[in-house]
Structure 1
Amino acid sequence: MTEQVDVLIIGSGPSGSTYARTIGDAVPTARILMVEAGPVIPGIRGDHTQNMTDEERAAAQLLTQGPDEGLERAQALSDIAEGLDPSLEFRHTILPGLFFLDPRPALEDGEVGLPAASMASGVGGMGIHWGISCPRPSQSERTPFIPTAELDAALDHAEQLLGVRKWDVPGTGLAEAIRAAQAEEFDGPGLTPVGFMPAAYRWEDGRLRFSGTGMILGDIEETVPGFELRAQTLAKRVIVEDGVAVGAALEDRVSGETYEVRAHHVVVCADGLRTPQVLFASGVRPPALAHYLNEHFQVSAFGALTDDFAPERFDNDPEHVGYVIVPFSDERPMQGGILPLMNSPYRLAVAGQEGAERLTVFAWYGAKDIQYCDRIEFSETETDFYGMPKMTIHYSRTEKDLQTIEQLKQNARRSADRVGGLAAEPELAAGGSSLHYHGTVRMGAVDDGTSVCDQHLKVWGVDNLYVGGNGVIPTATATNPTLTIVALAWRAANQIALQLNERVGTAATAAR
């Protein structure tokens, strides 16, 4: 017999998990199947790797490296594209638990590519590796066709799902001293004021714990008996009949068996690169699919605090990460971050080094000039490691982008000069390093060929087919996207839940 569910969710990361949790809370009798191409990670389902022991985290990272599963870091680094610096920062932010799309891309004239474009494959998706920063989008970063009150309510709910902690201004201790200095440098008319980075973590028994995908899913197995998370299961294509998504063809990656699951609603949350890949493989190819690809630029440098900001001079709150943020504004389309490593929630290999208590990261992120020509090209004949259409990224920079990059470097110097000095000149991270790939299944207000889905993430022209993840963001942003994509998935999931309840009510009426 063909398996039948109410909702089939492809991808187990933050967006897919938000769909599952929201629909399950609203319709506890729903049959929800979530499939994940990667393996189960030992330990608490969906837990962040930073909550694990060093040994557990290393094992989890090796499991989620897709085609590089089991490869030690030194082996994986041996194939990094020429010109990419396998520095400590690069290793920590790109390599562990991730795998490269193509570290040696063949570039056409004028292209710079995204040679560091990376993905994760395992239960929890990128939600077990992410950096926990949760700023709200500002000004033109916000989706203009979603009413302000509606988007704010969704962002409020996303903060609850992720367990986001926020700090008022003014703060205390060293964090406030750095914030005040940055505010003197960067605040001004029309600019969002300097503050503290909201972050998704909590303290348990004196130990800091990161929010992972498991934080979103919660106790869904107990409250929704019909929920199932099926790992090592690849979605080969969505089945579309007469303009309606009715299920998907799935592959058991252990046995190699291919089978179909029928569903009343299909949701694709594979990530910003693989979600359009699944749609392409399914024959769902609206004109904007995989176009308007963009990620924000990332410029960073290490520095040290001056004597005026020596940590020992301040009475510091041990539970405050103290990450200072210079938010995005239309007049300054970039976001700055200043984080003393002694306050970093990540366990970095700097403890014990001379001057470690004053080491600080100055990181700035800039919005990309969005272009239709920046895109993913899918092959009709060649396939990737998973047997899906092979991807080739076409990506270039405009004159506006070059100006943004230069301003990012200048602002990194300015932010460092206010509280200390740089150890080296700010450098632009390799394309793809941010891991935030937007626009490939972008939202739109109307179906005019420039978007893939509507404001509730339903794919244009195909009933009962929804998407999620970074790829749905239609605007140029510098802000970290996780809070936004969880908010957007929550809005979309509520629409599906409403339809499920209406269907159940209709069936009950007919039965009477």
Structure 2
Amino acid sequence: MSGYDVVIVGSGPVGTAIARELADLDPALRLLVLDAGPVLGPEPGGHVKNIADADARAAAVATVTGTRTPPGATPPRPGTALIGAPAMPNAATATNVGGMGAHWTCACPRPGDDEIPDFVDPAAFGTALTRAEELLHVTTHAFDRAPLTPTVRKLLGERFDQPGRRPVGPMPMAVTVGADGSPHWTGPAVIAGDLWRRPGVTLLPGTLARRVLMEDGRRATGVEVADTATGAVRRISARAVVVAGDALRTPRLLWASGVRPAALGRYLNDQPQVMAAALLDDPGVPDASPAGTAIVPLSGVSWVPYAADRPFHGQVMQLDASPVPLDPGVTVRPGQVVGLGWFCRKQLSPDDRVWFDDGDLDEHGMPAIRLEYRLTAADHAAIAAATTEIKAAAAALGRPLDEPFVMPAGSSLHYQGTTRMGPADDGTSVCDATGRVWGTGNLYVGGNNVIPTATACNPTLTAVAFGVMSARALQARLRAEEGS
């Protein structure tokens, strides 16, 4: 067995951030990052929106887009494949270097109020959030040049701003803006920087982790992996293992490895999503849209923040000129239609869960993913309130287009909670506040799945911040072992 100091399973935003932080803290560490999928585009973990050639971009995304659409589901988003779970028909995963971070919308709001776990040290978490924003290149100025942004923000602010709440403002975005105003979208390649060129750091695509190798059930000694092209299986030794796949496949790997705490896979949290569209009054929108794949920079991306007494998170972003049916004869200029998405806080329950069918194994010996998920009376009430609010927001912006609608479960792709952290090993959590799995000395988990709270905001920034905290705790543990 070849050996490393740390093996990290998953090259998405959190897995890459953990690797980057470990390498920055201790350049001598030997790190291996595994991903079951291929590299898309010219750089490992690059955001597909940054692939300039449209044909090349479409071809890259097509290689990892699923073709199956089960009953009750909408077709998978480009770059994802649907799981096929009746209880959550739009549940999907991304299998490529960079994970969902190669396809995401790059929204990075900070969590607020009770979205933040009360057992996490506020100062340490605040520092980690700042570091996460640095790694992701988060800015609130990505769309400063968008001519309709002031109008959109003014109208939303007049409708929703209240004392004691965070005001409507620009959505913090993981975007680097060029001198000409063009955006470069943050994929894990941006988080990595020069990481994959550093000595001692290896990225291995096309390699599926089948098992975490455990000694006496308490200490990870490495991973068993399979080459996804050939099926060849081998073992890799490590001083520590971090599993940062996603909220569905991270608990599956732990299950397959015999690491099965009571809360594993439970408290699955998807954010119910209400959508609407509005036709802005036309105050002189340009006739032509700029070329490229980014959001056309006319109305930008605006944010209606979450509050504990208003348990929704709203984002308003520009759609293409004709994404929704319009009345015959209506002429729409580019940038005139905006989409509104309200994400609702989901009531947490241990009965919402992902579990694994050992009687249905794939070609690599991994059990099939099954989902159990339902909306409670409180969830339906939240959705109804969000629907009322999004109608008001659409009316404030201009002319609402059709009625708001609720997306099928799983549409948010913001799945959380399945390896949730907690303050104590009491059966309701899988790991501690550093991501270390209870009862183990050197097995860590990372990703949206560690977030233990009912949230409405986009979870990537929060998850990367927790990943930063995990990397710092793990590096300190490895250093302590060396000195003992």
TM-score with structure 1 setting the length: 0.87
The total of aligned residue pairs comes to: 469
Q: Deviations over 1:196-246 (max 9, x none)?
A: 100011123533210101011110133x30111111111111111121111
User: Equivalents in 2 of 1:51, 1:172: separation in Å?
Assistant: 20
Q: Is contact 1:235-1:278 (8 Å) kept?
A: yes
**Quick one: which amino acid aligns to residue 359 of structure 2?**
T
Deviation at 1:306, TM superposition (A): 2.2
1:30 corresponds in structure 2 to: 29
Partner of residue 71 from structure 2, selected from 82, 91, 100? 82
Partner of residue 97 from structure 1, selected from 69, 73, 79? 79
Identify, as 1 or 2, the structure richer in helix. 1
1:59 corresponds in structure 2 to: 59
1:269 corresponds in structure 2 to: 244
2:117 corresponds in structure 1 to: 143
User: Equivalents in 1 of 2:359, 2:40: separation in Å?
Assistant: 33
User: Equivalents in 1 of 2:162, 2:146: separation in Å?
Assistant: 22
1:155 corresponds in structure 2 to: 129
Q: Is contact 2:314-2:340 (8 Å) kept?
A: yes
User: Equivalents in 2 of 1:349, 1:401: separation in Å?
Assistant: 27
1:413 corresponds in structure 2 to: 391
Note if 1:187 corresponds to 2:161.
Answer: yes
User: Equivalents in 2 of 1:348, 1:160: separation in Å?
Assistant: 34
Distance 1:216 1:459, change over 3 A: same
Partner of residue 371 from structure 2, selected from 390, 393, 405? 393
User: Equivalents in 1 of 2:20, 2:298: separation in Å?
Assistant: 29
1:436 corresponds in structure 2 to: 414
Secondary structure, aligned partner of 2:101? helix
**Quick one: which amino acid aligns to residue 379 of structure 2?**
D
Distance 1:102 1:83, change over 3 A: closer
Q: Deviations over 1:260-310 (max 9, x none)?
A: 111111000110100000000001000000000011111112220124x55
User: Equivalents in 1 of 2:146, 2:192: separation in Å?
Assistant: 34
Q: CA RMSD in A?
A: 2.5
Q: Deviations over 1:41-62 (max 9, x none)?
A: 2402211000012112112212
User: Equivalents in 2 of 1:171, 1:54: separation in Å?
Assistant: 25
**Quick one: which amino acid aligns to residue 240 of structure 2?**
H
Secondary structure, aligned partner of 1:484? helix
Query: Unpaired segments of 5 or more residues in structure 2?
Result: 287-295
User: Equivalents in 2 of 1:462, 1:83: separation in Å?
Assistant: 40
Which range is displaced more, 56-65 or 113-122?
Answer: 56-65
Which range is displaced more, 94-103 or 412-421?
Answer: 94-103
Secondary structure, aligned partner of 1:357? coil
Secondary structure, aligned partner of 1:356? coil
TM-score with structure 2 setting the length: 0.91
Q: Is contact 1:310-1:358 (8 Å) kept?
A: no
User: Equivalents in 2 of 1:35, 1:370: separation in Å?
Assistant: 31
Partner of residue 313 from structure 2, selected from 322, 335, 338? 335
Q: Is contact 2:285-2:333 (8 Å) kept?
A: no
Q: Residues 457-496 of structure 1: matches in 2 within 5 Å?
A: 457-496=435-474
Note if 1:302 corresponds to 2:273.
Answer: no
2:38 corresponds in structure 1 to: 39
Distance 1:386 1:57, change over 3 A: farther
User: Equivalents in 1 of 2:316, 2:297: separation in Å?
Assistant: 17
Query: Unpaired segments of 5 or more residues in structure 1?
Result: 69-75, 87-93, 106-112, 313-317, 507-512
Deviation at 1:367, TM superposition (A): 0.6
**Quick one: which amino acid aligns to residue 102 of structure 1?**
G
User: Equivalents in 2 of 1:84, 1:10: separation in Å?
Assistant: 29
Secondary structure, aligned partner of 1:288? coil
2:189 corresponds in structure 1 to: 214
Distance 1:461 1:290, change over 3 A: same
Partner of residue 263 from structure 2, selected from 269, 288, 300? 288
2:176 corresponds in structure 1 to: 202
User: Equivalents in 1 of 2:344, 2:403: separation in Å?
Assistant: 17
Q: Is contact 2:268-2:348 (8 Å) kept?
A: yes
Note if 1:251 corresponds to 2:229.
Answer: no
1:72 corresponds in structure 2 to: none
1:71 corresponds in structure 2 to: none
Q: Deviations over 1:430-451 (max 9, x none)?
A: 1111111111000101111100
